[in-house]
Amino acid sequence: MTIIKVSANSRTAAVAGAIAGVMREYRYAEVQSIGAGAVNQSVKALILAKGYLVNDGIDLICVPEFVEVDIDGKIRTAIRIVVTPRGEDTAPKPSVEERVTEVEKAEEKEEEESS
């Protein structure tokens, strides 16, 4: 699963459709933006996505968090909004970076065991 990255120029309806599609399929999404304009587009898209998902019986819970991202060698602070359905297991899921690290560790372990 990938992070839905939103810019200040992102089309709100397109982002909302992406969020709704990811929520229908995975029941978990992460929306990330840097800057006030991008955060504004993210929030508007989440409001639209909430409306898109009403007929599917999915009510959204959004939890924002700060994350540091490396862009062209510079560390920037982004806002990541973790989206989950209300009433389902809302235990924190590992971030994309943590999942990648877990996969890399598992691959290393397999290589060691096969040696």
pTM of full prediction above 0.85: no
Task: Tell me the pLDDT band of 2, cut-offs 50, 70 and 90.
Answer: confident
> Which ranges of 1-115 would DSSP assign to H, the alpha helix?
12-26, 36-53, 96-114
74 in helix, strand or coil? strand
What is the structure's pLDDT at 100?
54
76 in helix, strand or coil? strand
Q: State which H helix or E strand residue 71 sits in.
A: strand 60-71
Residues above pLDDT 70, as percent of the chain: 77
- What is the separation of C-alpha 115 from the centre of its chain, rounded to a whole number of angstroms? 37
Does residue 92 register a pLDDT over 60?
A: no
Can you tell me the distance from the alpha carbon of 29 to that of 36, in angstroms, rounded to the nearest whole number?
A: 20
What is the structure's pLDDT at 97?
60
Domains and CATH numbers, the chain: 4-88 (3.30.110.20)
What is the structure's pLDDT at 95?
59
